[in-house]
Structure 1
Amino acid sequence: MRLRVTISTRAREIPWDQVQAPGRGVFYEALERQDPQLGATIHANGWGPHGIAPFGHSAPTFPTPKRQEGKYVAGGTGTVEFGSPIPEIITALAKDFTTIPVLDWGGTALKVEKTTVVDPPAFASGRGRFRTINPITVKAEATRTPEGRVIRGKHLLPGEPGFDVALQHSIRRKCETFGHGSDVQLEGITWIGPKRSFAVTGHGHWGKKLGAPIEVEVSGPPAALQALWSTGIGGSTASGFGWVVA
């Protein structure tokens, strides 16, 4: 399930370090106003057995302005989307965004014009093709040395050795988080886009992550595929990574 927010702005561009990063804060501020207990629980513990943040979001997009090299252009009417398979989250966001006139997107004022709840596709065939509009990032699993020392897994880019294994693991963990089991399979990676880095924030930290948009084919129970469509795929979806084109 997604909440599509129609927005408008007089700004002509959004600074690159504010394209994705503000979404996480906008999400938690909305929950704090509408369902503070739910927001505090998610912020502290995540969701489900793996403690994953149970939501994702897009960057604001504006179809009218012409692209300009080196700039993330804005202006006129556009959209920004938030998604989660947890209905209470979407309900809280929808209520909040209908009571505030403007979203503060890292200093860019986005006027809220309307909100629309969008249900996921049925995925009745048990297969889905997901293309991300934002870069995707995944992290390899941690390993142990013979002495028992834990070596943290490194972040992997699409096309690097081990990426498909790490993405398969990430997809299964996400489906387990929402109670859909682990019977989900990455069938293939059909496209890899250009590498890009975006700023991320969370738990008092700021930094940049590098990734690349991709298209993948996944098979599994329809409800599991709907959860992936709702939150995005890969890691750091709460920071806007891995958002799937509707």
Structure 2
Amino acid sequence: MRLKVVFSFRGRIFLPWNYPDYLRGMFYEEIKKGDPKVARFVHEDGFQLERKRYKLFTFSLLYPTHKEIRPDGIIMWDKANWFFSSPIPGIVEAFAMGISMEGQVRIGRIRCDIERIEVMPAPMFSEEMIFRTLSPIVASTGQRRGDKFSKVFLHPDDPDFRRVLAENLVRKYKALFGEEPEGEIEIEPHEPYKSRLFNVSGTNVRGYEMRLKLKGDPILIKLAYEAGLGERNGQGFGMISLDSRQMKTLRR
């Protein structure tokens, strides 16, 4: 289930590049208003598989109608579109209820009006689909150097990138449904790639924007669309949308 939220700004606003952290804070604040029990479950528990917990929601960057790029952030005015998604309807519904209550939200220190909230129609999922990112995809592996263990963020051309994304998606499926998926999935990144570096709660996180082809089990493709690809989905990474070329093909 996916929402499109249209924010309206009272004049020009400035947000630093790390603003996804603000969006995450806004989400937890608003879902708590909508349904405190759901908010507590999402924040404290999530969906567990072995030692890992998955939030199973994701959200996009902001897409303003007017913007001015600066080295330290972005200036926006008029309106901005923002997307939120989860395979759990109760999470989306609780958030929608919370965000609708006052007609306003706070993104960092900025007050924004809610102009419109829409439930987006889901695409028809097939065995081969082309997507584009609405927020950067993060994939990483651990690397040991001597006594130190560090995380290495993978470039889309790294052979491990596809494997890590596919394995991560299968783990999300198992956390959600409690069983192995029947099918498999292949993920093919397509150039050009755009590298983005964010600071999330004091940690530098590198992700990539791109187009990509997903091939395989439509149920896994649907989960990628609703829960996000890769890591840190609940921090605003890994959201994908149908690519415009795919949409033109579907209209024929």
Match of residue 231 from structure 1: 227
Could you say what secondary structure the match of 1:195 adopts? strand
- The alignment of Structure 1 onto Structure 2 pairs a total of residues equal to 235
TM-score, normalised via structure 2 length: 0.82
Q: Does structure 2 retain, via aligned residues, the 8 Å contact 1:58–1:134?
A: yes
Residue from 156, 159, 169 that aligns with 2:157:
159
1:56 CA drift (Å): 0.4
Match of residue 114 from structure 1: 116
Identity %: 24
For residues 120 and 142 of structure 1, the distance between their equivalents in structure 2, rounded to whole angstroms, comes to 39
Q: Does structure 2 retain, via aligned residues, the 8 Å contact 1:22–1:106?
A: yes
For residues 28 and 168 of structure 2, the distance between their equivalents in structure 1, rounded to whole angstroms, comes to 23
Write out aligned runs for 1:1-246 (5 A): 1-9=1-9, 10-18=11-19, 20-49=20-49, 50-63=52-65, 65-70=66-71, 71-123=73-125, 125-140=126-141, 154-179=152-177, 181-182=180-181, 183-201=183-201, 206-246=202-242
Q: Does structure 2 retain, via aligned residues, the 8 Å contact 1:120–1:226?
A: no
TM-align CA RMSD: 2.5
Could you say what secondary structure the match of 1:189 adopts? strand
Could you say what secondary structure the match of 2:101 adopts? coil
Q: Does structure 1 retain, via aligned residues, the 8 Å contact 2:48–2:175?
A: yes
Q: Does structure 1 retain, via aligned residues, the 8 Å contact 2:45–2:53?
A: yes
- Which has a greater percent of strand? 2
1:51 CA drift (Å): 1.7
TM-score, normalised via structure 1 length: 0.84
- Which has a greater percent of helix? 2
For residues 45 and 83 of structure 1, the distance between their equivalents in structure 2, rounded to whole angstroms, comes to 18
1:161 CA drift (Å): 4.6
Distance 1:142 1:100, change over 3 A: farther
1:46 CA drift (Å): 1.8
Q: Does structure 2 retain, via aligned residues, the 8 Å contact 1:185–1:219?
A: yes
For residues 66 and 13 of structure 1, the distance between their equivalents in structure 2, rounded to whole angstroms, comes to 10
Q: Does structure 1 retain, via aligned residues, the 8 Å contact 2:31–2:95?
A: yes
1:157 CA drift (Å): 2.8
Aligned residue type for 1:14: L
Q: Does structure 1 retain, via aligned residues, the 8 Å contact 2:87–2:227?
A: yes
